[in-house]
Each structure stands twice: as structure tokens, then as C-alpha cells.
Structure 1
Amino acid sequence: MLLVLLTLAALAPGIATSWLLRRHGPLIAVLAGAGVAFALPFLLVVSLVLCPPLGIVLAAGAGIAALEAYDRGKVWMATAWAGVMVVASACAGWPR
């Protein structure tokens, strides 16, 4: 449930941008909304690359969340957390 809320919170600026730009045409509205929606993950990855300790902390937290989700039997959610762990580790440059 928390992941759904987090996803909606991340998409809300893109949806709002599309809604506000709808009078300029559907193509402009969709492209601007997608740009805003994809900017948030891009900024997260850039911050992880620029501050490696943040990436290591995020990787550790995602690993713990993945183990807990595997323990509860939620394989898809656990796999998503494991993917977050891999991306955060790679951004932090660990392991070398």
C-alpha cells in the first residue's frame, strides 16, 4: 500500500502538469507530463551518484525490505526491492 502511495506521489506532478497544459494540445501536455514524471527518478539517481553514502544507505534499506517481503511471500515486491538495491549499489559504485 505504501508503494502505491509513493508511486502516485511521484506521478502527481506529471499528471498535474499534463492537466494544466491540456489546452496547448494533447501531445504537448503528454510530453510535458512525462518529462516531469521522469525527472524525479532521474534526480534520485543523480543524487545517489553524487553522494555515494546515500546510495549505500538506500541499498541497505532496500535489501532489508526485500528480505522482509520475501519472508512474507510477496515475491514480486521483494524482487522490485532487490532491483532498487542493485541500482543504488551501482550508483554508489559498490562493490568495485
Structure 2
Amino acid sequence: MLLFLLAIAALAPGACTAWLLRRHGWPLAILAGAGVTLSLPLLLAGGLVMFPGLGVLAGTAACLAALSAYDDGRVWAATTWAGLAAAAFGCAGWLR
């Protein structure tokens, strides 16, 4: 359920942008929505690099979520959380 909510949160700005720009033509609206959606991970990674404390906090939270998912037997979700933790710690500069 949490991953579903994260996916909706990641896609919502792009969908809203496309909806607001629909009067300028659907091709332009779809391109703008895709641009907003694809820029969000880069914005998040940039924030983690600029504020290492945020990267450590996000990595720690992802580690705890991965451990909880491994305990529940959800291997794929736990592996995803572990990958996100590694990315967050890497952005914070801990994996050099």
C-alpha cells in the first residue's frame, strides 16, 4: 500500500501539469507532464546530495522499512527498500 501511495505521489504532479496545459494542445501537455514526472527523481537526488543529513535520514528510514519487509516475507519490496537505502547513503557520501 505504501508503494502504491508513493507511485501516486510521484505521478500526480505530472498528471496535474498535463491537465492544466490541455488547452494548449494534448501533445504539449503530455510532454510537459512527462518532463515534470521525469525530473522528480533528479530533484530528490539533488536534494540528498546538497543536504547529506537528509540522505542519511532517508537511508535510515529505508533500511528500517527493508528490515520490516524482510521480516514479513515480502522479499521484492524489501529489496527495493534496500536499493533505495543504498542510493540515499550514496547521495549522502557514505559509500565512497
- In 1, Cα distance between the equivalents of 2:26 and 2:80? 32
- The secondary structure found in structure 1 opposite 2:94 is coil
Amino acid at match of 1:21: L
- In 2, Cα distance between the equivalents of 1:15 and 1:3? 18
Residue of structure 1 in register with 2:88 after alignment: 88
* Pairing of 1:1-80 with structure 2 (within 5 A): 1-80=1-80
Structure 2: which 5+ runs fail to align?
Answer: none
User: Aligned residues: percent identity?
Assistant: 58
**RMSD over aligned Cα atoms:** 1.4
Cα displacement string for residues 49-72 of structure 1 (whole angstroms, at most 9, x for unaligned residues): 011121111111111110110110
Per the normalisation by structure 2, the TM-score is: 0.88
- In 1, Cα distance between the equivalents of 2:2 and 2:85? 18
Per the normalisation by structure 1, the TM-score is: 0.88
Structure 1: which 5+ runs fail to align?
Answer: none
- The secondary structure found in structure 2 opposite 1:89 is helix
- In 2, Cα distance between the equivalents of 1:6 and 1:95? 25
How many pairs align? 96
